[in-house]
Amino acid sequence: MVDYTLHCFLESGNSFKPALMLQLCQADWQAQWVDFFKGEHRSPEYLAQNAMGEVPMLIDHTEDDLVVNQSGVMLYHLAGKTKQFSPENTAEEREVMRWILFDNHKLTGAIAIYRFLNKFMDKGETPEAVFMQGRMIQAIKVLNRHLEQNDWAATNRPTIADISMMGYLTWPDHFNVDWDDYRNVKAWLERMSNLPHYATPEDLLPTKPAA
């Protein structure tokens, strides 16, 4: 039996966040594919474990099959257990929390929706898509400005805040961004991908099994 099972799917940047953390920490884990596009996350069985009906979902087998929902909570949980990528004092904790909340609400919050409309629904220039694209660009600009003075998001070393914000950023072509226009983000993404044991979403996350 592995220590952790992550319910996830490849197209999900939110799934990449805990998967990357597990990989960077070299944890003992397995991925369990969720058939998201068929609505498995809305099935009664799934909702019984995760009332929010969201992917990813982490099961910690070392704690009596504890169910952890929300990628940010998973990152905190894993940081606490592994003592890696974790804040080390209250001030750092505040900063880490600040950037994880920013990620969930503004960065991932806009990118995931714009990407879904743009790539998976091929919506073109609808008012909704243009609105979300504008929100996304604002959030990317905030991150780019912050990284002008800082190598890492929350402290002077990589933390779960960096891991969270990277969730969707390996797919710039899915949301029509060129990292050459955001040089500080580009350099930070390179630093992230040079961390020991780094792997891509395509390396870590399962996709629909062949029929």
Closest alpha carbon to 135 in 104, 158, 110: 110
| The one segment of 52-60, 80-88, 175-183, 185-193 that binds ligand GSH by CB under 6 A | 52-60
From 4, 60, 71, 107, residue interacting with ligand GSH (rule: CB under 6 A): 71
- Residue 205 to residue 211: CA distance in whole angstroms: 18
- Residue 19 to residue 89: CA distance in whole angstroms: 25
CB closer to ligand GSH out of 18 and 158: 18
- Contact present, 77 and 58 (Cβ < 8 Å): yes
Q: How far is the CB of 202 from ligand GSH (least distance, A)?
A: 16
The count of residues in the chain is 211
Q: How far is the CB of 55 from ligand GSH (least distance, A)?
A: 4
- x/- track of binding to ligand GSH for residues 103-122 (CB under 6 A): -x------------------
CB closer to ligand GSH out of 42 and 183: 42
Q: In whole angstroms, how far apart are CA 37 and each of 34, 120, 166, 182?
A: 9, 10, 23, 32
Q: Does 169 bind ligand GSH (CB under 6 A)?
A: no
Q: In whole angstroms, how far apart are CA 134 and each of 106, 125, 130, 176?
A: 11, 12, 6, 12
CB closer to ligand GSH out of 70 and 118: 70
CB closer to ligand GSH out of 52 and 142: 52
From 7, 41, 77, 115, residue interacting with ligand GSH (rule: CB under 6 A): 41
Q: Which residue has the tokens 């805040």?
A: 161
Task: Find residue 142's DSSP bridge partners.
Answer: none
From 12, 118, 133, 155, residue interacting with ligand GSH (rule: CB under 6 A): 12
Closest alpha carbon to 76 in 56, 100, 60, 55: 100
| The one segment of 54-62, 84-92, 125-133, 194-202 that binds ligand GSH by CB under 6 A | 54-62
For ligand GSH (CB under 6 A), the number of binding residues is 11
